[in-house]
Chain A
């Protein structure tokens, strides 16, 4: 019998939530890696019981853990992330040069066709690849060395490579997003990279609002059937590209705030997208204390609030960039986690929501696997 498995990373461990395809009754299991901050957990799309997790802790550094049985047991694998060559410097908060230094893994992206291949996006921003199921890691240095790296600077959360999107139709193409540098694309498997930020405007944030790099992109998302169409939640502004990130246009439309972190695409409707508006860059909670997911069925610009089952008063949680996901069941399920420890699920495209669990540690990431 099929079902869904929700992989939740939190400030104090990872949790695995499972249900059958009805998505009414949930089993909550965890914490795995109790006490460790788990920035991300994700499964291989071709071998669903192969999971990768990225626990880190200020005291004891980074771990990468792998499961080959759907999260029942875990094995620590390689945790050495060494920059290739002489790393050089990027900009620090005060504009001075700062040496590149590894802090943690933010995002793990398993290959679309090989369960032993996995990418890691790290802070300070760089992209690593493992070809041996996480045992060893090698930097794809062409990204950091592509020319603008010395001008990248950290956002408030650190200078992190937080988004990795693989193109299912062009094996050499992938997109990454870095705060605060922007979007970069490779067409040759990570050897060479190009900044892809034309159309982004960071007025009031950057001295040159339409600079080629320096934008605080929070998240990008793609529907696998249309890999040239990308959606972006930027620091401010929701954006869209129809040409593989060569150019972007704003689609914030009637959102109550165009600040936010996650953006997701419906599993079966490539023009249906979801965001969670947050009041502002200094007030990271929903406008008016009402937790609302906004859905556009037109690929942006026209948005409707989804509120049924979500708290509509006194709600001051945040939803972080990696904390929203969709399942692939016939009626698309949408899931998100909050900094208040709730994981909400909708089994009807977002029309209504229920809390699977309410009192986890602050949620950092949510991924969903649709099981056969």
Chain B
């Protein structure tokens, strides 16, 4: 199991780098991101983390904010350089599969409001 407790973890008191870039614009929002066990262990966090994302809250911006707060996850969800989704990683939100959506896809309102998490999933594989 993960090293931390069950609740969402804040990424720290200071706004993350992605949010800082938008200082002076629309205020960033805190969203929840749920991680699979291997990534929780890597980042040493619980089931969910909370990260601050500038608006518009897109899939790409959420992942940027996640990696800025937890650099150890760089390369584990998206490829270095190209930022393409790794083949066996999926993104779910409010019952929808966003895995094949472009990075500028705005996340559903319940995710933006913090009521639902963006869920990062290790795809089913094996036999």
**Residue ranges of A at the interface with B (Cβ–Cβ < 8 Å):** 35-36, 57-63, 76, 79-80, 82
Contact = CB atoms under 8 A, between A and B. Distances in A.
Given A76-B72, A80-B75, 15 more contacts: A58-B88, A59-B88, A59-B89, A59-B123, A60-B38, A60-B39, A60-B42, A60-B89, A60-B122, A61-B76, A61-B79, A63-B76, A79-B74, A79-B76, A79-B80
Contacts of B74: 79-80
21 contacts: A57-B38, A59-B38, A59-B88, A59-B89, A59-B122, A59-B123, A60-B38, A60-B42, A60-B76, A60-B89, A60-B122, A61-B75, A61-B86, A62-B75, A63-B42, A63-B76, A76-B42, A80-B74, A80-B75, A82-B80, A82-B81
B107 interface: no
B72 A60 contact: no
B14 interface: no
Contacts of B77: 60
A35 B122 CA distance: 13
Nearest to A36: B38
Contacts of A58: 88, 125
A57 B88 CA distance: 10
Contacts of B89: 59-60
A350 B42 CA distance: 39
Contacts of B79: 61
Interface residues of B, number: 18
Nearest to B37: A35
A36 B125 CA distance: 14
Interface of B: 36, 38-39, 42, 72, 74-77, 79-81, 86, 88-89, 122-123, 125
Nearest to A57: B38
Contacts of A61: 75-76, 79, 86
A57 B76 CA distance: 9
Contacts of B76: 60-61, 63, 79
A59 B42 contact: no
B38 A35 contact: yes
Contacts of A60: 38-39, 42, 76-77, 86, 89, 122
Contacts of B36: 59
Contacts of A59: 36, 38, 86, 88-89, 122-123, 125
Nearest to B42: A76
A131 to B, nearest CB: 19
A287 to B, nearest CB: 31
B113 to A, nearest CB: 29
A233 B77 CA distance: 38
A35 B39 CA distance: 12
**A35, A57, A61, A79: which has the most chain B beta carbons within 10 Å?**
A61
Contacts of A79: 74-76, 80
A178 B2 CA distance: 38
A326 B74 CA distance: 36
A61 B89 CA distance: 10
Contacts of B75: 61-62, 79-80
Contacts of A63: 42, 76
A214 B88 CA distance: 32
The listed residue with most B CB atoms (<10 A of its CB), out of A59, A62, A76, is A59
Contacts of B39: 60
B114 to A, nearest CB: 26
B80 A80 contact: yes
A63 B79 CA distance: 13
